[in-house]
Amino acid sequence: MIESLKKLKIGKIIKSPKMSEYTTYKVGGKALAIIFPDNIDKLIKLLDYLHKEKIKYKIVGNGSNLIFSDNNYEGVIIKLDEFNNLEIRDNIVNVGAGYNLIKLSLKVARLGLVGLEFASGIPGTVGGAVYMNAGAYKSDMGYVVREVKVLTPDLKIKTLYNKDMNFHYRSSFLQKNPGYICLEVKIALRKGDPNAILEIIKERKQRRIITQPLEYPSAGSVFRNPSNDFAGRLIEELGYKGKHIGGAYVSEKHANFIINKNNNATASDIKNLISEIKEKVKEKYNIDLIVEQEFVD
């Protein structure tokens, strides 16, 4: 398969990568290969081959919301790092799906564009953020995304507008229709004072350092906040701060974070700890916590 892929001249190929090196939790077995398509045409060529050969695949951004199994992933990982074009005209931003979200947030802030400050601490790609409808500070991608250029399951390029994207709390059309792939995004921002925007970003960064375990591998918030409450508060009330299974720990700083404290956690440790917390919260509060992170087998 690797030789066949090389002959297609799609882009860079890494054989048998450890997924622990491509996810922020730093866990997971190996995949068959990671491929970095050079452009949309090469991506279409790759997907056409994978469909015909019935080879499993997954599109991955920064791996900041994924928990790969300890077992090997019997398929191909596709990373759109080369889809990193950026064009800014007045208050409109056209950006590739592989562009780093934090980098984009800081860039537009320095240009005095308001609306992406919430994303300054979200360690994903633009495509991953649209897929998840990533957000913070009572804002999310749904507020700023105007259009999304996608590849459809039958490998056609199509534009979806904000109303088509069905953005809801940590959810989008792409999440419910995984055959669609985000290629490029048009974002509409507002003009503002760069110094004021950068000051907000600086203050929020300081707050995150104090309240979140940024020094350890994690994937951010584990659970979505239930209506009119906070998952972290419920977990803390259970006395679960510091609780661990194997190398996976509930953070002492923020109970809705699970950390790979000494870099010796397994995916199973994390999964089992998530399951236990979910079960205990249901038992005590009769609340079904929804896992924000994605398990990949």
Domain boundary among 57, 79, 101: 79
Catalytic residue among 146, 170, 208, 224: 170
Full domain range(s) for residue 258: 213-296
Asked if 190 is an active-site residue, the reply is no
- Tell whether 30 is covered by a domain: yes
Query: Are residue 119 and residue 169 in the same domain, yes or no?
Result: yes
Instruction: Supply the CATH number for residue 150's domain.
Output: 3.30.465.10
Query: Are residue 65 and residue 91 in the same domain, yes or no?
Result: no
Q: pLDDT tens, 151-199?
A: 999 999 999 999 999 999 999 999 999 899 999 999 999 999 999 999 9
> What confidence score (pLDDT) does residue 101 get?
98
- Tell whether 204 is covered by a domain: no
pLDDT-derived band at 133, boundaries 50, 70, 90:
very high
Report the pLDDT averaged over residues 78-91. Answer: 98
CB crowding 193-226: b at 16 or more within 10 Å, else e = eeeebbebbeebeeeeeeebbbebbbbbbbbebb
> What confidence score (pLDDT) does residue 52 get?
97
Catalytic residue among 117, 147, 184, 292: 292
pLDDT-derived band at 254, boundaries 50, 70, 90:
very high
Quote the pTM value.
0.94
Q: pLDDT tens, 25-53?
A: 999 999 999 999 999 999 999 999 999 99
pLDDT-derived band at 91, boundaries 50, 70, 90:
very high
Query: Are residue 114 and residue 161 in the same domain, yes or no?
Result: yes
Query: Are residue 126 and residue 186 in the same domain, yes or no?
Result: yes
**CB-based contact 204:119 (threshold 8 Å):** no
Report the pLDDT averaged over residues 89-93. Answer: 97
> What confidence score (pLDDT) does residue 154 get?
96
Query: Are residue 290 and residue 233 in the same domain, yes or no?
Result: yes
- What share of the chain in percent tops pLDDT 70? 100
How far apart, in whole angstroms, are the C-alpha atoms of residue 265 and residue 244?
Answer: 10
> What confidence score (pLDDT) does residue 242 get?
97
Q: How confident is the prediction for the chain on average, in pLDDT?
A: 97
Asked if 120 is an active-site residue, the reply is no
Query: Are residue 91 and residue 75 in the same domain, yes or no?
Result: no
> What confidence score (pLDDT) does residue 70 get?
98
> What confidence score (pLDDT) does residue 290 get?
96
Query: Are residue 189 and residue 100 in the same domain, yes or no?
Result: yes
- What share of the chain in percent tops pLDDT 90? 100
First-residue to last-residue Cα distance in the chain: 20
Asked if 292 is an active-site residue, the reply is yes
How far apart, in whole angstroms, are the C-alpha atoms of residue 13 and residue 34?
Answer: 6
> What confidence score (pLDDT) does residue 39 get?
98
Spatial CB neighbours of 184, under 8 Å, sequence gap ≥ 6: 83, 85, 94, 95, 96, 97, 148, 149
Query: Are residue 171 and residue 268 in the same domain, yes or no?
Result: no
- Tell whether 254 is covered by a domain: yes
Instruction: Supply the CATH number for residue 57's domain.
Output: 3.30.43.10
Query: Are residue 124 and residue 97 in the same domain, yes or no?
Result: yes
Catalytic residue among 20, 120, 171, 221: 221
- Tell whether 9 is covered by a domain: yes
Query: Are residue 175 and residue 222 in the same domain, yes or no?
Result: no
Look at the chain and report how many structural domains it folds into. Answer: 3
How far apart, in whole angstroms, are the C-alpha atoms of residue 109 and residue 112?
Answer: 5
Query: Are residue 61 and residue 103 in the same domain, yes or no?
Result: no
